[in-house]
Amino acid sequence: MKTRVLSGLIMAPLLVILIIGGYVLYAGCFVIGVMAVYEFFKGFKAMDIHASYPIAVCAAVALYGIGLYQHLSLAESGDDSPFFYMLWFFAVVLASLLYLFKIDERKLEDALATITGIFYIIFFSYHIGLLAMDGMLVPGLKNLVWLVVITAFGTDIMAYFTGYALGKHKLCPKISPKKTIEGSVGGTLGSIILCGIFGFFFAKPWLIHCLIIGLLGGIISQFGDLTASVFKRKMGIKDYGNLIPGHGGILDRFDSVLFTGPLVYYYINFASVIGVMN
């Protein structure tokens, strides 16, 4: 417990990046993404599967470059064409399949692991960068990127303490033996409450949406956590890394954020399109 708390305090400077937002947060997402995908690929090595980290890094550079270009184009001309993103999708799959051309050295699993890591780690985490960019174009939305962190970490913390105090019924014993149904419910309720408090003080016009995101985020963040646990069990590892004492690696700490980032991004954009969040 003490180690986890101290490690949490060590991670506190990351909050400064969130406060600054904008290009700093965008760059931070890139750095975390390439570090996390490295840990993810290292886990596959325990299964004798060798994904291509250079392809993943090139994919990350290209994706964030496209995002920056789209951001500048949208700010100047309103152009928001999906062309370059579709090209990126094609290039990622193509490069991963061409990776197999050294047929005597590589297996089908190597290409599949490369594709999985790029989309699961790089692409999912990229949505937080998109929220940072949207916050620069629409200043009122800047604070809403905090909902990604509040739902993910708030759910995790509240689920831990609720499960510790009340947990009796196992949630997914074959995936994560320590998680309980009571903890899951407590984590979701905690996410709703924390998002509601945040909305009341920092995003009052969108309070109802903060509560909805708290509910949805509380659920999907747990799916993110469990998904990461599934990968670790299949890989035969306990943690993805040891960078953060008491927490494991970068991916161990941010696994639920990979799911809540896209959720918050798509919810905000969908709600804006249908006119219920202006």
70-84, 113-127, 189-203, 218-232: which has the minimum mean pLDDT?
A: 70-84
**Residue 245: pLDDT band with limits 50, 70, 90:** low
Report the Cα–Cα distance between both ends of the chain, in Å, rounded: 43
Q: Are 258 and 37 in contact (CB under 8 A)?
A: no
What pLDDT shows up at residue 75?
66
Q: What are the pLDDT digits (tens) for 128-155? A: 999 999 888 887 788 899 999 999 999 9
Q: What are the pLDDT digits (tens) for 163-191? A: 999 999 999 999 999 999 999 999 999 99
What pLDDT shows up at residue 44?
97
Distant-in-sequence, close-in-space partners of 92: CB < 8 Å, separation ≥ 6: 55, 59, 115, 118, 119
pTM over 0.85: yes
Q: Are 171 and 162 in contact (CB under 8 A)?
A: no
What pLDDT shows up at residue 12?
67
Token readout for 20 is 């600054």
**Mean pLDDT of the chain, nearest integer:** 91
Dihedral sign for Cα atoms in the order 215, 217, 220, 221: negative
85-88: long-range pairs with CB below 8 Å, 24+: 88/59, 88/62, 88/63
Show the DSSP H helices in the chain as ranges. 2-10, 13-20, 22-45, 53-77, 83-98, 108-117, 124-137, 146-166, 181-202, 207-235, 250-254, 257-273
For residues 76-88, give the mean pLDDT: 83
For residues 108-125, give the mean pLDDT: 98
Q: Are 243 and 252 in contact (CB under 8 A)?
A: no
Greater confidence (275 vs 132) lies with: 132
What pLDDT shows up at residue 241?
85
**Residue 8: pLDDT band with limits 50, 70, 90:** low
What pLDDT shows up at residue 93?
98
- Comparing C-alpha atoms, which of 94, 26, 95, 98 is closest to residue 65? 26
- Is residue 61 predicted with pLDDT exceeding 60? yes
What pLDDT shows up at residue 275?
78
